Amino acid sequence: MDLAGGDFRVYPGFLALRGITVKTGDFDGDGETGFQDFLVFAAAFGTLTGDEGFLRAADLDRSGDVGFSDFLLFAAAFGT
């Protein structure tokens, strides 16, 4: 991937891709990572790809499960 063109930038809690910004853990799309997002994350916690209730967006580290490392990423973004 060529990062010199400025098409891809990562900041703590944010991913910007060609002018589109996605906030880590903002599952309800309100621009903040808050309590409603926590409820969504908690419902998916402990699930694996293919499980009922698995939410790909909650698999923040893209490991195929929603686990403790995802919780740490979510917690870092919480309140922002």
CATH code at position 54? 1.10.1330
The residues, any chain, with a CB within 8 Å of residue 60's CB and separated by 6 or more, are 24, 25, 69, 70, 73, 74
* Residue closest to 49 by CA, chosen among 31, 27, 71, 66: 66
Q: Is residue 43 one of the residues assigned to a domain?
A: yes
Residue 16 lies in a domain: no
Give the total number of structural domains in the chain. Answer: 1
pTM for the predicted model, two decimal places: 0.72
Q: Range of 61's domain?
A: 26-77
Q: 30-76, pLDDT tens digit by residue?
A: 889 999 999 999 999 999 999 999 999 999 999 999 999 999 999 99
Amino acid type, 2:
D
Tally Cβ neighbours within 10 Å of residue 22.
12
1 occurs within a structural domain: no
2-28: pLDDT as tens digits = 444 545 555 555 555 555 556 789 998
Residue 7 lies in a domain: no
